[in-house]
Amino acid sequence: MVTALYRRYRPETFAELIGQAHVTEPLQQALRSDRVNHAYLFSGPRGCGKTTSARILARCLNCAEGPTDTPCGTCPSCVELSRDGGGSLDVVEIDAASHNGVDDARDLRERAVYAPARDRYKIFILDEAHMVTQQGFNALLKIVEEPPEHVKFIFATTEPDKVIGTIRSRTHHYPFRLVPPAEALSYVEELCSGESVAVDDGVLPLVVRAGGGSVRDTLSILDQLIAGSPDDRVTYDRAVTLLGYTHDELLAEAMTALASSDGPGTFGTLDKVMHTGQDPRRFAEDLLEYVRDIIIVDAAGDAAAALMPGSSEGALDQMKGFAHTIGTPRLSAIADVVNDALTAMTGATSPKLHLELLMARLLVAGSHRQPSAPATRPSVSTAPAPGQASVPAPAAEPVAPPTGPVEPLTMAMMEASWPAILEAIGEKKRAVWSAVTGTQIVSLDDDVVTIGFPALSGADVLKKAQGPGLPVNAELVRDAILGVTGHRVRFKVVELPKDDTEDVVSEEIAPGQPEKPVAAEPTETASWPTVVPPGSESSTESQAEAEHSPPEDQPVEDIEPPINGLSQVGEAVIREVLGGELISEHRVDDGEVR
Ligand SMILES: [Zn+2]
């Protein structure tokens, strides 16, 4: 019969307590300078050392050499209060979960009156203090407020908010916290070598992760693994199956398949995962964690090893490889998709189905990373509405190269990146962000993105300058798109159809205009900024349209002052707004931002 690890390794001094320096240092200082309060409140998540600290504090206070910040360990009090000791008469531990009533509080009050039997103080440790009833606290109030000289109180609780305010205000409150993974990891590493237990690479990070920052939980898990392993050797396979995590190899396999948009590979891996009996939600969580790790490795570069203690060199190299082939924008998009799917899986009747759909979505999100430029190019040019078919041609060549990502921008990529783009905008300027929230990508025509606004007036803010002498807000949107997708685009705005597009358009078009049908095009209402050179097939149509239909989708580029009254119809307005130049080929090129 072996005592549990967490009991054998229960700290006996503050120095042995890990991850709580923010609490133990001030406490030790108070002990050294003899400024110990009469009541303490230790709060924090379970298993992070509250009760242990209360015992250590009691030990420090009652040590024959004390009060001291480091108990001597040899005096009768220290021996009694050590981890193997039987407990001291003067240190009373009360489990408030079962002694929470008024009678218990009165009993405690009576006991507090008597002087300590041998040591300096009579110390009451109330564990699970939040369980004490209101009446119980009220009965304690007087003695906690003005205790006899020889009495100290230590309340330990996971829920400090439930300890009544009148008690809390009479205590010194020390919030304990979960132990950071790095500290927990080096602690269990030391512990394993102390116990002469060999563990495979990658086991201890799993143990720490499963422990969730609670030292007690972490040690219990390690204890279980050691107990179930022959020859004092904990293997990765055993740990990963026992703890229910997804094997790293399976995660890497899934990532490889996703990176190459390999459908059969992806679902083959998924099948394997399901055959191991893995919980779909757990797999999605592990995948998200893995993607996060890759993003960190990518962002951190050489510092990655320090940021991810416990990861082997091989694992780091593999992640670097993924980061390189997949690229940050897509990794970020994958993380978003997985995260959303995880939310949807909560309480879902068929999480497996959700997981399969998730993988399908990840594959689709992946397709645009394929270096299949020739394949996507034609599909883009066939996409535009019939009336616009010839539009992309003139702008295509000059615009594409500058920032130089190889793969072309696709509608799917644009749509997938839109939330991230909005977020990037939000980080720069809230006002612009709130204007573009709720918008959606209507279409992508070569390098011209059409953004649909619920109301066109919402786009007005884009025409305003970012500040005196600064470019307009629209630049900010363009920069965000560049930042996320790697593509420098132009964009135009349209009003999203509400119930009936006709309504919106017909209001503004002068009755009887023959060109009306063009403007009534559902998605691409009008499009003067992308107009083709004069003389080409659609130029007359576009010109006519520009002359007669309202510039409801005027390009936001180059428009310095906020413009109101745009809904007026007419060439004069366009001239005024756009600097006296009606649409022309050179206008479009000039307007491009490189
Ligand atoms: Zn002592």
Which CATH number does 376-591 carry? 3.30.300.180
Distance in Å, CA 73 to ligand 1 centroid: 5
How far from the centroid of its chain's Cα atoms is residue 285's Cα? 12
Is this prediction's pTM over 0.75?
no
Distance in Å, CA 6 to ligand 1 centroid: 23
Distance in Å, CA 20 to ligand 1 centroid: 23
Token pair 């409801």 in the structure block, residue: 552
Distance in Å, CA 78 to ligand 1 centroid: 4
Which CATH number does 258-367 carry? 1.20.272.10
Distance in Å, CA 295 to ligand 1 centroid: 51
Q: Can you give the pLDDT at residue 25? A: 93
> What single string gives the DSSP state of each residue in 369-407?
TSS-HHHHHHHHHH-S-GGGTTSHHHHHHHHSSTT--SS
Distance in Å, CA 36 to ligand 1 centroid: 17
Distance in Å, CA 190 to ligand 1 centroid: 27
- For residues 594 and 72, what is the distance between their CA atoms, to the nearest angstrom? 73
Distance in Å, CA 122 to ligand 1 centroid: 16
Q: Can you give the pLDDT at residue 514? A: 43
Q: Can you give the pLDDT at residue 294? A: 92
Beta-bridge mates of residue 40:
154, 172
Q: Which segments within 23-69 are labelled E, that is strand?
A: 39-43
Distance in Å, CA 48 to ligand 1 centroid: 25
Distance in Å, CA 61 to ligand 1 centroid: 9
- For residues 51 and 489, what is the distance between their CA atoms, to the nearest angstrom? 60
Token pair 């050499």 in the structure block, residue: 65
443 with 523: CB under 8 angstroms?
yes
Q: Can you give the pLDDT at residue 491? A: 79
Element (H, E) at 443: strand 440-445
Q: Which CATH architecture has domain 5-175?
A: 3-Layer(aba) Sandwich (3.40)
Distance in Å, CA 77 to ligand 1 centroid: 6
Distance in Å, CA 31 to ligand 1 centroid: 14
One-letter amino acid for residue 331 of the chain:
L
Q: For residue 269, how many other CB atoms are within 10 A of its CB?
A: 23
Beta pairing class for 172-175 and 151-157: unpaired
| Domain 181-243, CATH number (from 1.10.8.60, 2.60.40.3080, 3.40.50.300, 1.20.1740.10) | 1.10.8.60
- For residues 22 and 538, what is the distance between their CA atoms, to the nearest angstrom? 71
12 with 56: CB under 8 angstroms?
yes
- For residues 525 and 549, what is the distance between their CA atoms, to the nearest angstrom? 10
- For residues 191 and 197, what is the distance between their CA atoms, to the nearest angstrom? 9
Distance in Å, CA 273 to ligand 1 centroid: 56
Residue 527: strand, helix, or coil: coil
Element (H, E) at 127: strand 122-127
Distance in Å, CA 90 to ligand 1 centroid: 14
Mean pLDDT by 10 residues, the chain (594 residues): 83 91 93 91 91 93 88 91 87 86 84 87 91 86 86 92 87 92 91 90 90 91 90 89 87 90 90 86 91 91 82 86 89 91 83 88 66 37 40 39 56 81 79 81 82 82 75 80 79 75 41 42 44 46 45 47 44 53 45 46
Beta-bridge mates of residue 151:
122
Who contacts 177 (Cβ-Cβ below 8 Å, separation ≥6)?
19, 20, 22, 44, 45, 48, 213
Beta pairing class for 440-445 and 233-234: unpaired
Q: Can you give the pLDDT at residue 474? A: 82
φ and ψ of 455, to 5 deg? -135, 140
Distance in Å, CA 150 to ligand 1 centroid: 18
399 with 448: CB under 8 angstroms?
no
Distance in Å, CA 14 to ligand 1 centroid: 14
235 with 200: CB under 8 angstroms?
yes
φ and ψ of 28, to 5 deg? -65, -40
Q: Can you give the pLDDT at residue 175? A: 94
445 with 388: CB under 8 angstroms?
yes
Distance in Å, CA 80 to ligand 1 centroid: 10
Beta pairing class for 122-127 and 233-234: unpaired
Distance in Å, CA 171 to ligand 1 centroid: 25
Distance in Å, CA 67 to ligand 1 centroid: 9
Distance in Å, CA 71 to ligand 1 centroid: 5
Q: Is 289 exposed, middle or buried (0-12, 13-18, 19+ CB in 10 A)?
A: middle
Q: For residue 560, how many other CB atoms are within 10 A of its CB?
A: 11
Distance in Å, CA 55 to ligand 1 centroid: 13
Domain residue extents for the chain: 5-175, 181-243, 258-367, 376-591
